[in-house]
C-alpha cells in the first residue's frame, strides 16, 4: 500500500509523565498499537496538544517516532501563527525524513482567500515532502477557502490531499468539486461514512487512539461499500470522546485500558472538565465497540 494513501491515520495523543514531561514509554506502546492495527500515525496535531509543546519537545517526538521505523506512515502536524517557526520545524521534519506533513490554516488571524494562498505557498516552497492541507474552522476561527487547495495543487505537485473537518457534508462536496484529483480524508470520526459516500478515501481519527483495529475495520467496511455491517453505535461512541475538550476523554479511556500511565494534559486543558457521567459513557462505548469487533 502507498504510504501516502492509508485509509486511517490516528491523530495521536501525546502522553505525559506525572511531572508533565513527555512519556516516551507510553508513546512507544501507543505507536506499536497503531502499527499492529495497520493504521498510519499523525503526531503533533491538535489531539497531540502540539501547540502546548515547546520546540525541543516537538523535535524529540518526531525523532523518536521516526527512529521506531514503523511499517506504517508517519505524518507530522504543522501549526501556529509564526511563519518562521513553522518553516524551521518543516526543515527539521525534512531532515528527519517523515512521510508527510499536515498544514493547517493559520490560527487566530482569520486570513482571507489570498492570505491563505500566500501563507501555504510560503510553507510549501520550503519543502518537497508530500503535504495535506487541513480545514478545521472550529479551531482556527476561519474556513479554508475551497479554491485554495485547487490553486495550490496546480502550483505545487507535493500537495496531495485535504483533511476536511468543517463538520459539513456540503462543504466537503464543494472541496471535492474544486479539487477532484486530491485525496480527501474525513477529519471527523462521525462523518466518515457520509464523506466516503462522497468520494473520501479515509479518515484522520481521534477514535483510533483507543480503538485502532476497530476504526480500521469500520473504514475498510465503508470503503468496500458494506455499510450494513458497520457498528451501529459508532456516532454515539465516537461522540463520547468529545464530551470534554479533546484529548481529555481519550486520555482517560486510554488509562482505563492500561495503555498510558497518566492522564495528564497541559493547560488550558483540564481533566476536571470530564464529568463522571462522561467517563461512564466512555467505558460503555468501549464495551460496545469491543463486543462488535469480536464478532467480526
Which cell numbers in the block locate residue 12? 495521536
pLDDT-based confidence at 2, cuts 50/70/90? low
* Domain assignment present for 241: no
Domain tally, the chain: 1
pLDDT tens for 126-139 read 999 999 999 998 88
Determine the pLDDT at residue 4.
Answer: 58
* Domain assignment present for 157: yes
Domain span holding position 21: 8-227
Q: How far apart are CA 32 and CA 42, in angstroms?
A: 13
The angle formed by the CA atoms of residues 284, 272 and 280, to the nearest 5 degrees, is 10
DSSP 182-207: SEEEESSGGGHHHHHHTT--EEEESG
Q: How far apart are CA 106 and CA 126, in angstroms?
A: 17
Residue 83's CATH number: 3.20.20.70
pLDDT tens for 234-248 read 999 999 999 999 999
* Domain assignment present for 253: no
* Domain assignment present for 115: yes
* Domain assignment present for 278: no
The set of catalytic residues is 134, 163
* Domain assignment present for 223: yes
Which cell numbers in the block locate residue 123? 510553507
* Domain assignment present for 37: yes
Which cell numbers in the block locate residue 13? 495523543
**pTM, two decimal places:** 0.95
Q: How many CB atoms lie within 10 A of CB 280?
A: 11
Q: How many CB atoms lie within 10 A of CB 106?
A: 22
Amino acid at each position: 500500500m502507498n504510504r501516502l494513501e492509508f485509509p486511517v491515520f490516528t491523530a495521536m495523543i501525546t502522553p505525559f509523565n506525572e511531572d508533565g514531561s513527555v512519556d516516551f514509554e507510553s508513546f512507544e506502546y501507543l505507536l506499536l498499537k497503531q502499527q499492529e492495527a495497520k493504521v498510519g500515525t499523525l503526531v503533533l496535531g491538535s489531539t497531540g496538544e502540539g501547540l502546548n509543546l515547546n520546540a525541543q519537545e516537538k523535535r524529540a517526538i518526531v525523532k523518536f517516532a521516526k527512529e521506531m521505523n514503523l511499517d506504517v506512515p508517519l505524518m507530522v502536524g504543522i501549526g501556529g501563527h509564526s511563519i518562521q517557526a513553522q518553516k524551521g520545524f518543516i526543515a527539521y521534519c525534512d531532515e528527519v525524513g517523515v512521510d508527510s506533513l499536515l498544514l493547517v490554516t493559520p490560527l487566530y488571524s482569520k486570513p482571507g482567500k489570498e492570505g491563505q494562498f500566500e501563507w501555504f505557498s510560503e510553507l510549501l516552497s520550503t519543502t518537497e515532502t508530500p503535504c495535506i492541507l487541513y480545514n478545521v474552522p472550529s479551531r482556527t476561527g476561519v474556513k479554508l477557502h475551497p479554491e485554495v487547495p485547487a490553486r495550490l495543487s496546480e502550483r505545487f505537485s507535493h500537495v496531495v490531499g485535504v483533511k476536511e473537518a468543517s463538520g459539513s457534508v456540503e462543504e466537503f462536496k464543494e472541496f471535492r468539486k474544486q479539487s477532484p484529483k486530491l485525496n480527501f480524508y474525513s477529519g471527523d470520526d462521525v462523518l466518515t461514512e457520509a464523506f466516503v459516500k462522497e468520494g473520501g478515501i479515509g479518515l484522520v481519527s481521534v477514535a483510533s487512539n483507543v480503538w485502532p483495529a476497530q476504526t480500521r475495520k469500520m473504514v475498510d467496511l465503508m470503503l468496500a461499500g458494506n455499510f450494513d455491517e458497520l457498528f451501529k453505535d459508532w456516532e454515539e461512541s465516537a461522540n463520547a470522546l468529545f464530551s470534554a475538550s479533546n484529548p481529555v476523554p481519550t486520555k482517560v479511556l486510554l488509562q482505563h485500558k492500561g495503555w498510558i500511565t497518566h492522564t495528564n494534559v497541559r493547560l488550558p486543558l483540564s481533566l476536571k472538565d470530564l464529568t463522571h457521567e462522561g467517563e461512564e459513557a466512555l467505558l460503555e462505548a468501549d464495551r460496545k465497540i469491543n463486543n462488535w469487533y469480536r464478532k467480526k
